[in-house]
Structure 1
Amino acid sequence: MISSIQHELASTPNGSASSSSSDSSSALSKNFMTLLITQLKHQNPLEPMESGDLLNQLAAMTSVSELRDIHAGISRLSNQFATAQLSSATALLGQEVAIDAGQFSFNGDGAKLSLSFPSPGAGQVLHFLLTDHNGVQVKEAHYQGRRNESPGAPIKRNLEQLFGSLPHGQYWLKSTIDGHDNSEPGIVPVQLVSKANSIVFNSSDQAPQIRLEAMEPVALSSIHSVTRP
């Protein structure tokens, strides 16, 4: 009996899933009526179906329909989000963008990668410590605030100016400023600045990433500011 019911449902035009919620509701009603009529035709007259069985079947079909509608809605939102991400990534091409300088992958010309940081103020010294991925010190650099340079004024220096030539690799950057009256050194926020020159896609989720000059690609969420050329 089950195989004959499945055959009759499969041969019914409304047996396929609909692309919209309204069509889905209509198809659900028609499919349920088809199922009801088919089951009544094939039931044992001596053991008729219980009304509760029909209600359970209706509830199951409703759940399947709702899950299908939810999945379709999520798919639409996912496509819209992917389109918005790609549009945002495309708008960044040719512009200088800034990301946090805590950890970065260097693979190019140090003159194309800059550090942006607040001035320590006239006479104050900002210390930079560059280590590799194992925590081994690679190089040190210092920046002393110029005369009439107010604390916090934005300063930009390319990586080569500060550290000279660097081999390709993974680096950690720590920046501190001397404390006053023997207090602990303060940590200073530093950003890496580079030009966005192309878009690549993450191999795992196909999300667009920005390839920066002299760096590995970064996610859109890593970009904090944009400087138009």
Structure 2
Amino acid sequence: MNDINSSTQTDALSAYRTQNTNSTSSKNDLGQDAFLELLVAQLNNQNPLDPQDNGDFIAELAQFSSVEGIDNLNSSVDSLLSDYKSSQALQASALVGRQVVVPNNEVYWSGEGTIPATVDVSDGATNVMFSITDDAGQLVAQIPMTGALPGENSVLWDGKDAEGNTLPAGKYKFTATGVVNEKSESFVVYGSARVNSVTLDDGNTLLNVAGIGQIPLSQVREISE
């Protein structure tokens, strides 16, 4: 009798596995519906002379509840993620036309206004100098950063050369150097450029920044007018 029931149960489970394999939504994960079908098949084909222990049955029901809870949690997380991405895109659209500081020392000068930048100065640095070169690599202006403190320091370029002449619109590059422990050292510079538009790429929010290209919204360090 035991052998017959074992064979019957095996056949039922085999049929279930075959059906699950041929399903168009075949997955390695055991979903809520599949778990319930497997549990019912097990109960229908158990040995009547040696039924499943109550404790084991309760444990399987607890597993079923866990699967159902995980499915519901995944649905909630997906919904929250969708709402977050929509909110992020809406916030990014408000940046169009504004200046953003990003981890790129190449900037585009429009010919008017000012361009902010950030210099990450090392501890103990002296004689910190902020330099601007044009697209051909020629030095056009320098700004002494007197009193620069360790860490991030803001600097503003007005688009003029060393003689006070307004430079033409185009690409420029920011660099910063100083003396640390009697040795010359270059510091990390974060440039600024105007946001022309916003692109949504497979759930990612990208800023189309003038003269730089696409920058992830997460890389923006500072926003200015």
TM range (shorter): 0.5 to 0.7
Residue 57 of structure 1: how far off its partner (Å): 1.8
> Could you say which structure has the higher strand fraction?
2
2:109–2:115 CA contact under 8 A, matched in 1: no
Deviation at 1:116? 3.1
User: What is the match of residue 204 of structure 2?
Assistant: 207
Q: Structure 2 matches for 1:10-29, cutoff 5 A? A: none
Partner in structure 1 of residue 55 of structure 2: 52
- Matches of 1:62 and 1:76, distance apart in 2: 21
Question: How many residues in Structure 1 have an aligned counterpart in Structure 2?
Answer: 180
Secondary structure of the equivalent of 2:182?
A: coil
User: Residues 27-42 of structure 1: matches in 2 within 5 Å?
Assistant: none
1:84 deviates by: 2.3
Instruction: Give 2:68's aligned residue.
Output: 65
Q: C-alpha distance in 1, partners of 2:191/2:51?
A: 76
1:127-166 to 2 correspondences below 5 Å: 128=131, 139-141=137-139, 143-145=141-143, 154-158=155-159
Aligned to 2:184: 185
Query: 1: distance between equivalents of 2:80 and 2:216?
Result: 20
Q: Is residue 115–residue 191 contact of structure 1 (8 Å, CA) maintained in 2?
A: no
Q: Give ranges in structure 2 of 5+ residues lacking alignment.
A: 1-8, 17-31, 120-126, 149-153
Q: Which region of structure 1 is more displaced relative to structure 2, 40-49 or 84-93?
A: 40-49
Residues 82 and 144 (structure 1 numbering): CA distance in 2 closer, same or farther, change over 3 Å? closer
Query: Cα–Cα, structure 1 residues 222 and 110, in superposed 2: closer, same or farther, change >3 Å?
Result: same
Provide the aligned C-alpha RMSD in A.
Answer: 4.7
Mapped contact 1:96–1:226 kept (Cα < 8 A)? yes
Any stretches of 5+ residues in structure 1 without a counterpart? 7-26, 131-137
Whole-angstrom distance in 1 between the partners of 2:66 and 2:83: 26
What percentage of residue pairs aligned between the two structures are identical?
19
Residue 176 of structure 1 aligns with which residue? 177
Would the alpha carbon gap of residues 145 and 212 (structure 1) be closer, same or farther in structure 2, given more than 3 Å must change? Answer: closer
Instruction: Find out whether 1:88 has 2:97 as its counterpart.
Output: no
2:197 is matched with 198
- Asked if the contact 2:102/2:191 (under 8 Å) is kept, the reply is yes
Closer, same or farther: CA 70–217 of 1 in aligned 2, 3 Å: same
Q: Secondary structure at the match of 2:58?
A: helix
1:176 is aligned with what amino acid?
A: T
* CA 221–159 in structure 1, closer or farther in 2 if over 3 Å, else same: farther
Secondary structure of 1:101's partner? coil
- Once residues 61 and 112 of structure 1 are traced to their aligned partners in structure 2, the CA distance between those partners, rounded to angstroms, is 66
The alignment status of 1:223 with 2:217, answered yes or no, reads: no
Q: Is the 8 A contact 1:127 1:141 kept in 2?
A: no
With the length of structure 1 as denominator, give the TM-score of the two structures: 0.56
Deviations 1:157-194 (A, max 9, x none): 4599789966xxxx9864214x49x9223545533222
Shift of 1:90: 1.2
Q: Which residue of 2 aligns with 1:13?
A: none
Q: Which amino acid aligns with 2:198?
A: I
